[in-house]
């Protein structure tokens, strides 16, 4: 009898999975065949042969005439969007319908991450984003430059006097992570992050705990992204309680010191503390204040450090591009004694290099939004007239990595060509074909600061060194298959050689 019940349960489960995975068939929307339980993500979740960004690219390339494709992320149906007009509709025109990122964070489990505007939907997001806008205003960016200049000097001192200085070979992923962590520490909290002087610098440890590609970070991110229902049982926080405690201690001490001693500083924490004074401690309790600090750390260091390290990687592989960037930097530094607003604003070619890096190696591989109400989508193919209404809760995936490598928008897409972004050429890039910082009302809040800090670090390095690949450098670049954001699979080794033209001048 027991065998009968087991067989019946297995049969019912199979029928349930089959039914769930026939969602797009029933809607008459084409897409690749799913595998039970894993949908179209088998090679990401099980075999680890591909990152989900690559899987989306394969699907994107396989349906060149479709506006969208029906896919399954594990058991969950989602629409993979190909058409740029539809992307505009999702990000801009019908923004209120798609104003929810798929990132499901439980505020009880992850109180510090839950205040990040990225994790907040609807009206609450609007209020939060308005409140935080002063933190990212243009003049704030200007006040950040002296801090960035200072940290750049510490980075060069570390390169010349630190443990790797005899060989001058560095894992640039780590070097740039140290640099952007210390920038965030200085610009946001007015403290020295100690990344270049302390091997156990607490903020670096926190960054690693959240982002470093390990089995645990990979598992946590997979659950949050693709199996949020499982977290109801396992209750794995995105940020561990030790990390939460450590971060509260660091920022809490700075806040206490400022409040007790009535110290005011020109940094982002001050903007948050002023908001607390204006709106009261009920709205801006310790979790809100420290959580916004955490937003700065998580958003501010990782994407920028990836962009900076991948730009160094591309410059090492493209020496003629590197020379042009150095020439521009040299000319500006000859007129300005150090990195200042003038140098940052006028390094136009360097900015083209950064944009080209974000295109080819976008730190955010995809964006996924959940609809907050029913939405009518145009026909899947131009040849058809059948529109489709999809219910509230539908997940739409914008495959940023695939779009950035589409030859229809970026000819010869695997060529690192910063000139795509110069004044003459950039207007020929179709709108919404570049989504490295997203677009519409949820466009990256820290884009200007991100570009500024990456520029600052690159100027400091390129004004002194030539960057070269070593025999340990991975060519072509291999990225980690287990993290949410773009990360190198292993270390990213590059060699730094004092520039001969400068040596001759000395």
Residues in the site for ligand HEM, rule: CB under 6 A?
101, 117-118, 129, 295-296, 299-300, 303-304, 307, 358, 363-364, 367, 436-438, 442, 444-446, 449-450
Residues contacting residue 396 through CB under 8 Å, at least 6 positions apart: 68, 78, 79, 81, 90, 98, 368, 369, 370, 371
Name, in order, each residue with C-beta under 8 angstroms of 440's C-beta and a sequence gap of 6 or more.
91, 92, 95
Compare residues 29 and 188 and give the one whose CB is closer to ligand HEM. 188
For residue 435, report the phi and psi dihedrals to the nearest 5 degrees: -130, 25
Q: Report the nearest approach of ligand HEM to the CB of residue 32 (Å).
A: 23
Q: How far is the CB of 23 from ligand HEM (least distance, A)?
A: 23
Could you tell me how many residues make up the chain?
Answer: 506
Please say which residue, 144 or 273, places its beta carbon nearer to ligand HEM.
Answer: 144
CA-CA distance, 289 to 301, in Å (whole number)?
18
Looking at the Cβ atoms of 222 and 380, the one nearer to ligand HEM is 222
**3-class DSSP string for 250-285:** HHHHHHHHHHHHCCCCCCHHHHHHHHHHHHCCCCCC
**Strands 388-390, 375-377: parallel, antiparallel or unpaired by DSSP?**
antiparallel
- Nearer residue to ligand HEM within complex by CB, 21 or 459: 459
Shortest Cβ distance from residue 492 to ligand HEM (Å)? Answer: 16
Shortest Å distance, C-beta 266 to ligand HEM: 16
Separation CA 65–CA 38 (nearest Å): 26
CB of 438 to ligand HEM, least distance (A): 4
Work out how close the CB of 272 gets to ligand HEM at its nearest, in angstroms, rounded to a whole number: 13
Q: Which residues contact 185 (CB under 8 A, 6 or more apart)?
A: 191, 192, 193, 203
Nearer to ligand HEM, 369 or 495 (CB): 369
Scanning the structure block, which residue is given the tokens 């590059």? 494
Choose between 131 and 231: whose C-beta lies nearer to ligand HEM: 131
Closest residue to ligand HEM: CB criterion: 446
At 249, which helix (H) or strand (E)?
A: helix 241-261
**Helices 172-189 and 202-211, packing angle to 10 deg:** 120
CA distance 95 to 101: 11
- 8 A C-beta contact, residue 92 and residue 439: yes
352 annotated ligand-binding residue: no
Least gap, CB of 365 to ligand HEM (angstroms): 9
304 vs 483 by CB, closer to ligand HEM: 304
Nearer Cβ to ligand HEM (210/367): 367
CB of 148 to ligand HEM, least distance (A): 12
Q: Radius of gyration over alpha carbons of the chain, in Å?
A: 24
CB 207 within 8 Å of CB 185 = no
Distance (Å, whole) CA 444 – CA 265: 25
| DSSP E strand stretches across 101-206 | 169-171
- Residues making up the binding site: 444
- Residues making up the binding site for heme: 444
């Amino acid at each position: 009898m027991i065998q009968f019940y087991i067989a019946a349960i297995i049969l019912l489960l199979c029928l349930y999975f089959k039914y769930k995975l026939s969602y797009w068939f029933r809607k008459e929307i084409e897409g690749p065949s799913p595998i039970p339980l894993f949908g179209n993500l088998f090679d990401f979740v099980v075999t680890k042969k591909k990152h989900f960004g690559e899987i989306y690219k394969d699907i994107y390339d396989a349906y060149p005439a479709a506006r969208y494709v029906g896919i399954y992320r594990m058991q969950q149906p989602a629409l993979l969007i190909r058409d740029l007009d539809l992307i505009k509709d999702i990000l801009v025109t019908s923004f209120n319908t798609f104003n929810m990122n798929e990132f499901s964070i439980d505020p009880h489990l992850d109180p510090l991450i839950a205040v990040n505007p990225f994790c907040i939907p609807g009206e609450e997001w609007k209020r939060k984003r308005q409140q935080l806008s002063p933190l990212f205003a243009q003049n704030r960016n200007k006040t950040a430059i002296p801090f960035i200049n200072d940290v750049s000097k510490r980075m060069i001192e570390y390169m010349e006097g630190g443990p790797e200085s005899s060989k001058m070979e560095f894992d640039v992923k780590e070097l740039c992570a140290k640099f952007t962590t210390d920038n965030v520490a200085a610009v946001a909290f007015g403290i020295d992050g100690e990344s270049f002087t302390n091997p156990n610098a607490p903020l670096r440890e926190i960054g690693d705990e959240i982002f470093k590609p390990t089995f645990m970070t990979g598992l946590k991110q997979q659950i949050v992204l693709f199996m949020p229902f499982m977290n109801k049982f396992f209750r794995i926080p995105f940020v561990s309680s030790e990390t939460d405690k450590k971060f509260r201690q660091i920022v809490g001490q700075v806040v206490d010191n400022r409040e007790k001693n009535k110290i005011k500083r020109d940094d982002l924490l001050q903007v948050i503390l002023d908001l607390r004074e204006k709106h009261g401690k009920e709205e801006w309790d310790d979790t809100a204040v420290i959580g916004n600090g955490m937003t700065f750390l998580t958003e501010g260091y990782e994407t920028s450090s990836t962009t900076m390290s991948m730009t160094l990687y591309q410059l090492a592989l493209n020496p003629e591009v590197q020379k042009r960037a150095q020439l521009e930097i040299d000319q500006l530094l000859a007129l300005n004694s150090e990195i200042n607003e003038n140098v940052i604003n006028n390094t136009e070619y360097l900015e083209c290099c950064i944009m080209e890096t974000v295109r080819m190696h976008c730190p955010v591989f995809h964006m996924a939004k959940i609809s907050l109400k029913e939405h009518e989508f145009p026909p899947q193919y131009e040849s058809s007239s059948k529109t489709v209404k999809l219910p509230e809760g539908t997940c739409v995936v914008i495959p940023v990595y695939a779009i950035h490598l589409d030859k229809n928008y970026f000819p010869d897409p695997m060529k690192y060509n910063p000139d795509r972004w110069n004044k003459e050429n950039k207007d020929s890039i179709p709108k919404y074909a570049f989504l490295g910082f997203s677009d519409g009302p949820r466009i990256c809040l820290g884009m200007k600061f991100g570009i500024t800090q990456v520029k600052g670090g690159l100027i400091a390095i390129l004004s002194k060194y030539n960057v070269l690949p070593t025999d340990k450098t991975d060519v072509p670049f291999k990225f980690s298959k287990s993290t949410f954001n773009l990360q190198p699979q292993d270390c990213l080794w590059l060699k730094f050689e004092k520039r001969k033209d400068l040596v001759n001048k000395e």
